[in-house]
Amino acid sequence: MEKERTIAEPWRIKVVEPIKVTTKEYREKAIKEEKKIGKS
């Protein structure tokens, strides 16, 4: 007799994504650039 394959429940699947570490200057520059783009 074959074993039944179990499918993992969606609430048990855990994905961990790496967080990109940025400097304060980089974030401030990115915000300023986005504001410029948003105005045009």
- pLDDT tens-digit map of 1-40: 566 676 767 777 778 888 888 999 999 999 999 988 887 5
Three-class secondary structure of residue 37 per DSSP? helix
Q: What is the pLDDT of residue 37?
A: 82
pTM of the model: 0.44
**C-alpha dist (Å) from residue 22 to 25, 27, 28, 38, 40:** 8, 7, 10, 22, 27
Rounded Cα gap, residues 17 and 28, in angstroms: 23
Q: What is the pLDDT of residue 3?
A: 65
16's tokens: 């961990």
10's tokens: 């969606």
